[in-house]
Amino acid sequence: MVLAIQVVGLLFGAGLAYLAFTRFKRKEFTLTEVTFWIVLAALFSAVALFPEILNPLVKSLSLARTMDLFIILGFMFLIIAVFYTYSLVRADQKKLEEIVRRIALERKK
User: Does this model's pTM top 0.85?
Assistant: no
Q: How far apart are the first and last CA of the chain?
A: 76
pLDDT of residue 108: 87
Residue 27, sorted as left (phi over 0), alpha (psi -120 to 50) or beta, turns out to be left
Asked whether the beta carbons of 6 and 48 are under 8 A apart, the reply is: yes
pLDDT of residue 109: 80
Beta carbons within 10 angstroms of residue 79's beta carbon: 10
Asked whether the beta carbons of 66 and 54 are under 8 A apart, the reply is: yes
The count of residues in the chain is: 109
- Which residue stretches of the chain have pLDDT < 50? none
